Structure 1
Amino acid sequence: MTSPADIPANNHKRYFFEKFGITERLLERCLGEALSAGGDYADLYFESVTAVSLGVDEQIVKSASTGTSAGCGIRVISGERTGYAYTDNLNADRLLHAAKTAALIASGPAKAPVQGFTEAQTPDLYPVPLGGFDLDLAARLELILRADRAARAFDPRIVQVRASYSEELRRVLIAGSDGSFASDTQPLCRLNAFVIAKDGDNTTKGQAGAGGRAGLAQFVGSKSPENLAQEAARGAILQLGAVPAPAGEMEVVLGPGWPGILLHEAVGHGLEADFNRKGTSAFSGLIGRPVASPKVTVVDNGTIEGRRGSLNVDDEGSPTQETVLIENGILKGYLTDKLSARLMGTANTGSGRRESYHCVPMPRMTNTYMLAGEDDPEDIIRSVKRGLYAPNFGGGQVDITNGKFVFSASEAYLIEDGKITAPVRDATLIGNGPEALKHVSMVGYDLKLDEGIGTCGKDGQSVPVGVGMPTIKLDRMTVGGTGR
């Protein structure tokens, strides 16, 4: 067998053929077996992942792991039924057995098996590390130790620091019974810093992170561990002097970048086609109708170079694309995969994603953001008599069926007479996604994407995503807090 290091990382197809002995004839046999009990469509998703993660807590290495995994998921679609089986053994017998299992789950009207494949022409959105994946743990450990030292040096009130780094190289090969064929090699890395600050009885926390589709060399060249650590420490120290957040309905200004997570959760999930096909989304049946202010245009774009949510091909082998979801306030469409596109009679937007070969694909977001407007961000702040400015967010909860959300602001400030004043703590934003967007009255020209830390959960599956927005003003939103 050929070792992974001997196979060029950008030769995706050759990797699986040489490492695991996969052949086009075997792909045809597996797809034929998958359709042997009938079905409209079948596909094979081969995946091989090499990963490393390191964690430092109080300057002590508390966790370190490296590992590899490989397997294949086989799906058969018959009408609205899906049969799915997977195996972590890529020899021919196990693959054919998994194909037969998926076939029996989704049995239906027969379809002729595929003969021959047409390979998709895909872009090159991210550099693949030369030589594949090299497990130099010392270089990765030094990254997080640099972050640890920088956070501690920021202020003597920083009393605890945790830092972590994770990296993976994922190779995929997808073959479908419609003759489609695609392969890709997908790097991904992320560095996080978490700190705790203390002043008397007052204890606060701060965190920051960055990442993207890159290997260690590219990441170090574009992101500074020191800057991330200082940002985490700044947030914690800031909160030590924060006053209680006001409560009630008021004007709210969201800062650029990571606050786009509110858009992702409160609106983006509701625009995924499976929810709309089943009629369970607050946006079901609203295409062509106004769902936001005319100043709001929202896109999902999986083609931005190096971004965490970007992919050359989705997990069904379809090229990703830029999809306009809301244009000037009008709902234009949904995010679709092959199944939902076929059942809804719409185009496939290349949004089929899955966490691993264990999972069926479903419509998911990639990089979702609001386009820039024409307003000066300083004018937006100056227009607010009394309100809240929220440049950073923590966690939140959303009900897809009605669009209601609750989000916590990890960093927020009072706006008084057009000026940003005191930092506040424990601020939450409460609202309804479709309704909230109707109250957007100003949109800044300062569109910013997040630092590359987004992870999206849906039906038990997690995938990397990106978010973003410019500075925006909402004329009305409910703020939860304990102050006045």
Structure 2
Amino acid sequence: MSSAFAPTPSARANTIFHQQFGVTDRLIERCLAAALERGGDFAELFFESTASNGISVDEGIVKSASQGHSMGCGVRVLNGERTGYSYTDELTEEKMLHAARTAALIADSATSGADVQGFSVAKTHDLYPAATTDVEIAQKLQLVQRADRAARAYDPRITQVRATFNDEVRHILVVASDGTYASDVQPLSRFSVGVIAKDAAGDGGKGASASGTSGGGGRRGFDWYTTERTPEHYAREAARQAILQLTAQPAPAGEMPVVLGPGWPGVLIHEAVGHGLEADFNRKKQSAFAGLMGQRVGTAKVTVADNGIMPNRRGSLNVDDEGVPTANNVLIEKGMLCRYMSDKLSAKLMGARSTGSGRRESYASIPMPRMTNTYMLAGEDDPADILRSVQKGIYAVNFSGGSVDITNGKFVFAANEAYLIEDGKVTAPVKGAMLIGDGATALTRVSMVGHDLALDEGVGTCGKKGQGVPVCVGAPTVKLDHMTVGGTGR
């Protein structure tokens, strides 16, 4: 193996790793050489430093306040389909070289290692401001206390309130043997409110209780929560949901038309369709969409994208965690499957290019194909016409959770805000509605798509193989001609 570590002056990024932690070009060169000393097709160093803060109020009392900092470097070596990975939380020469040699040992090969390519700085986007976590804790406390007061003022039946504010700034630097040299500073914040409502006279005199949650955020600074989305906005929404559920009737069961509301219901697309379009599941033939590239998988009304370049959105990234600039990837276009989301490994093994979808939870994690901001694109139908087209069905506005089997796309989602549709009109709220089906079949039942595309407020965290990453979901109003609804009513 020969070294070609000769980055341009601009490539010697003035990152936090150079400034504060003493990571030099020479040390990076030595670590890549050590990672490839036992052979391998590719080696990568992923540096990460994250400063985070959090504060929560429960029942009007400060329940927790935290401040943390994590730092480390992950070393990955690829040899065909084999991956060697090791990491250290100490950015010293000794520890980094040890991690590099450990990763090399795992991916041991009889062949000589690949050459390190000449480096150039990746051309990245500029999707979010360089926010900080330095706002005084007293100002953050005021935010969560305002949410507590607003939720309680909404209705006397609100009996419990919990409000939380978290923010972080993540610095990354990715250097790899294929010439990758990319850095980014990624702010992230989130406000959350959860409430419980109780009605002593409800449920036939037995007493009824219900919960509601709301929140939002993204790659935004503190000012967003004082000017655009205030604590009162989130608090009132959480309280509204809880009070609504106190009077909801049991959801009916059976096959019926289902209308999904705009925004957060796009989580169904994320879970039931999006995961199935991640390249690793498809190259391993583990997805219900494996082998269907170029084929029809939904009606002509269905276009689905994973868009990592939306300014300030929770799932957006200037570069992914492999140093590849993110993109707006159309996955399904007018019902035809046209792209999988790929990281570098899956792209190489499938003879394709990375779509900028390589993501990892931290420096201690291996990257894999992941979603960013995933949504169904707007259609041309009037949402009011969509509702009028249903004689008897369910209008699902919000979901509290669900589960999906990637191998067959089968899903079960719990709607925590849903209504009956009767004679084309939205009528009584219902509780306990479960939507049951599979992603591939659901796409073939989409008959109307509204022009009212909306993305969620910015609360999503996607889990995969034990790793969680921030994401965003969205959808317009969507009609599925029939779907199995689980419920206890008639």
SS of match in other structure, 1:45 = strand
Which residue does 2:82 correspond to in 1?
81
CA contact (8 A) 2:420 2:429 kept: yes
SS at match of 2:223: helix
- In structure 2, the residue matched to 1:114 is 116
How many equivalent residue pairs?
472
Equivalent position SS for 1:429: strand
Pairwise CA distance, 1:133: 3.2
> Which string of whole-angstrom CA distances, capped at 9 and with x for unpartnered residues, describes residues 11-38 of structure 1?
9743210111111121111101000000
Pairwise CA distance, 1:116: 4.4
- CA deviations on 1:327-373 (whole Å, 9 max, x unpaired) are 10011110000000000001210000000000000000000000000
Shift of 1:220: 2.9
Q: How does 1:199-348 map to 2 (within 5 A)?
A: 199-200=199-200, 201-348=207-354
Kindly provide the amino acid, as one letter, of the partner of residue 431 in structure 2.
Answer: R
Match of 2:143 in 1: 143
Say if 2:52 is the partner of 1:46: no
- Cα pair 1:39 1:106 within 8 Å, conserved: yes
Distance in 2, Cα, partners of 1:395 & 1:454: 11
Alpha-carbon contact 1:31-1:113 (below 8 Å) kept: no
Counterpart pick for 2:416 among 410, 415, 423 = 410
Q: CA deviation at 1:226?
A: 0.1
In the TM superposition, 1:452-463 aligns within 5 A as 452-463=458-469
1:120-199 matches, within 5 Å, as 120-129=122-131, 132-199=132-199
- Work out whether residues 163 and 191 of structure 1, in 8 Å CA contact, stay in contact via their aligned partners in 2: yes
What amino acid does structure 2 have at the position aligned with 1:437?
Answer: L
Q: 1:394-436: per-residue Cα shift (whole Å, max 9, x none)?
A: 1000000001000000100000000000000000000011101
Which amino acid in the other structure matches residue 236 of structure 1?
A
**Percent identity of the aligned residues?**
64
Q: Please report how far the alpha carbon of residue 249 of structure 1 lies from its aligned counterpart in structure 2 after TM superposition.
A: 0.3
1:222 Cα deviation from its structure 2 partner? 2.1
Identify if the C-alpha distance between structure 1 residues 236 and 133 changes in structure 2 by more than 3 Å, giving closer, same or farther: closer
Q: Which position in structure 2 is the counterpart of 1:8?
A: none
Closer/same/farther in 2, CA of residues 22 and 116 from structure 1, 3 Å limit: farther
Instruction: Tell me what 1:385 maps to.
Output: 391
Q: Which residue of 1 aligns with 2:73?
A: 72
Q: Conserved in 1, the CA contact under 8 Å of 2:53 and 2:133?
A: no
Contact 2:418 2:433 in 1 (8 A): yes
Q: Judging changes above 3 Å, is the alpha-carbon distance between structure 1 residues 270 and 93 closer, same or farther for their aligned structure 2 residues?
A: same
Instruction: Say which of 366, 370, 380 aligns to 2:376.
Output: 370
Which residue of structure 1 lines up, in the alignment, with residue 4 of structure 2?
Answer: none
Q: Distance in 2 between matches of 1:116 and 1:168?
A: 33
* Structure 1 unpaired stretches of 5+: 1-10
Equivalents in 2 of 1:357, 1:270: separation in Å?
25
Q: Matched residues in 2 for 1:426 and 1:22: separation?
A: 55
RMSD: 1.1
By how many angstroms is 1:221 displaced? Answer: 2.8
Report the 3-state secondary structure (helix = DSSP H, G, I; strand = E; otherwise coil) of the residue aligned with 2:15. helix
**TM-score, with length taken from structure 2:** 0.95
Give the Cα–Cα distance (whole angstroms) in 2 for the partners of residues 44 and 220 of structure 1.
39
* Structure 1 CA distance for aligned equivalents of residues 14 and 260 of structure 2: 44
Residue by residue over 1:300-348, the C-alpha shift from the partner in whole angstroms, topping out at 9 and shown as x without a partner, is: 0000000000000000000000111101001111000000000000121
Aligned to 1:100: 101
SS in 1 for 2:400: coil
- Partner Cα distance (2:302, 2:117) in 1: 47
Counterpart CA distance in 2 for 1:321 and 1:27 is 28
Q: Partners of 1:31 and 1:219 in 2: how far apart?
A: 43
| Partner amino acid, structure 2, of 1:117 | F
Superposed, which structure 2 residues align to 1:429-440 within 5 Å?
429-440=435-446
Give the distance between the partners of 1:71 and 1:325, measured in 2 at CA.
34
What per-residue deviation string (whole Å, max 9, x for no partner) do you get for residues 57-90 of structure 1? 1000111110111000000000000000000000
Task: Give the conservation status (yes or no) of the 8 Å contact 2:225–2:231.
Answer: no
Amino acid at match of 2:108: S
Question: Which amino acid in 1 is paired with 2:113?
Answer: K
Deviation at residue 114 of structure 1 after TM alignment? 2.3
Residues in 1 aligned to 2:432 and 2:112: alpha-carbon distance in whole angstroms: 58
- Cα 1:18–1:418 shift into 2, 3 Å: same
Distance in 2 of aligned mates of 1:316 and 1:65: 30
1:135 Cα deviation from its structure 2 partner: 4.9
Alpha-carbon contact 1:12-1:184 (below 8 Å) kept: no
* Separation in structure 2 between the aligned mates of residue 14 and residue 192 of structure 1, nearest angstrom: 32
Residue 20 of structure 1 aligns to a residue whose secondary structure is coil
Asked if structure 2 preserves the Cα contact closer than 8 Å seen for 1:52 and 1:135, the reply is no
1:124-183 CA deviation, whole Å, 9 max, x = no partner?
100012xx4315211111111111100000000101101111100000000000111000
Determine the structure 2 residue equivalent to 1:474. 480
C-alpha displacement of 1:110: 1.8
- Of residues 218-227 and 178-187 in structure 1, the stretch that sits farther from structure 2 once superposed is 218-227
Give the letter for the 1:388 counterpart. I
CA contact (8 A) 2:447 2:480 kept: yes
